[in-house]
Amino acid sequence: MPATILDGNKIAAAIRAEVAADVKTMSAADARPGLAVILVGNDPASEIYVRGKVKSSEEVGIYSEKHTPPASVTTEELLNLVADLNRRDEIDGILVQLPLPAQVDSKKVLLAVDPAKDVDGFHPTNVGFLSTQRPGLVPCTPAGVMEMLGRSGIKIAGQDAVIIGRSDIVGKPMAMLLLNANATVTVCHSKTRDLAEVCRRADVLVAAIGRSGMVTRDFVKPGATVIDVGMNRVTDPAEFARLFAGNTRREENFRAKGSTLVGDVHPEVAEVAGAITPVPGGVGPLTIAMLMANTVKAAKMRRGSKVPELSRV
């Protein structure tokens, strides 16, 4: 029996609807959440990401503004901008779009963001709050994965969870969230021995390694839930054939566009998994939905009693 497809678009739409309802309530109480996005230079991929974030903010009613310093910006100039946004009470969330230009000290800039406004959840203070199970802002992608698991009725407590990838943005916070939800967690990486064998123990397998179709059927226990965080663009015909041979619709699309998107999980895994996220349309939409939810959460935590009781997101 083929795997159940976990529809990220559907779950993200539900989260956005809840956020929009919260924003409406908050705006009526004169506490409309505000998000500031800093986009340096003209990186095309970053511009697309930021456009999506600003558009989503507008759709749910969050006040948003975009700051676009030139690619020649200095660390000092960016620190001054962040300091100004930290001071402004109507701004609840500050997002610094990465990557920053080479001359900028990215770590210094990210560290300068007020932890109470750190809607990406990257600040060491928020990492510490997550680690010690205190209220804080959690990185959007792993938070979205937890929403997907919870809303899809997938059991976590007592389950074996394996994560491939140990990044600060996905792998580590994902491990912490699953651990906090009472899973038994293993984190794998490039030095892990017998990777496929370790992954086969997983009831919940999260792939966040950044390598096209690396997770094949021999990595997956039959019936396991597989979460594919990867987003890789394939342009090589041989690589495409390895992943999608015999898929006529994909082949036509690939010939027309010269590329296709694929996750870290090989499409064949859908034949053995119990549930799986598609790429695109799986984890991706949840990342932006959780950014909206984090902005509302930041506003609520910062403003306290001025904000009415809101939904659970």
Set 53, 172, 221, 300: catalytic member: 53
Set 22, 92, 97, 203: catalytic member: 97
Report helix, strand or coil for 246. Answer: coil
Set 22, 92, 114, 120: catalytic member: 120
Nearest to 196 by CA among 88, 269, 294, 91: 269
The terminus-to-terminus CA distance of the chain in angstroms comes to 33
Q: Based on the residue annotation, tell me whether 53 is a catalytic residue of this protein.
A: yes
- Distance (Å, whole) CA 95 – CA 97: 6
Give bridge partners of residue 215 from the DSSP assignment. 265
Buried b / exposed e over 58-93, threshold 16 CB at 10 Å, is eebbbbbebbebeeebebeebbebbeebeeeeebbb
Q: Based on the residue annotation, tell me whether 97 is a catalytic residue of this protein.
A: yes
Q: Specify whether the CB–CB gap between 152 and 6 falls below 8 A.
A: yes
The rounded Cα 302 to chain-centroid distance in angstroms is 23
Q: Specify whether the CB–CB gap between 177 and 138 falls below 8 A.
A: yes
- In angstroms, how far apart are the furthest CA atoms of the chain? 59
Tell me the Cα Rg of the chain.
20
Among all residues, which ones are annotated catalytic? 53, 97, 120
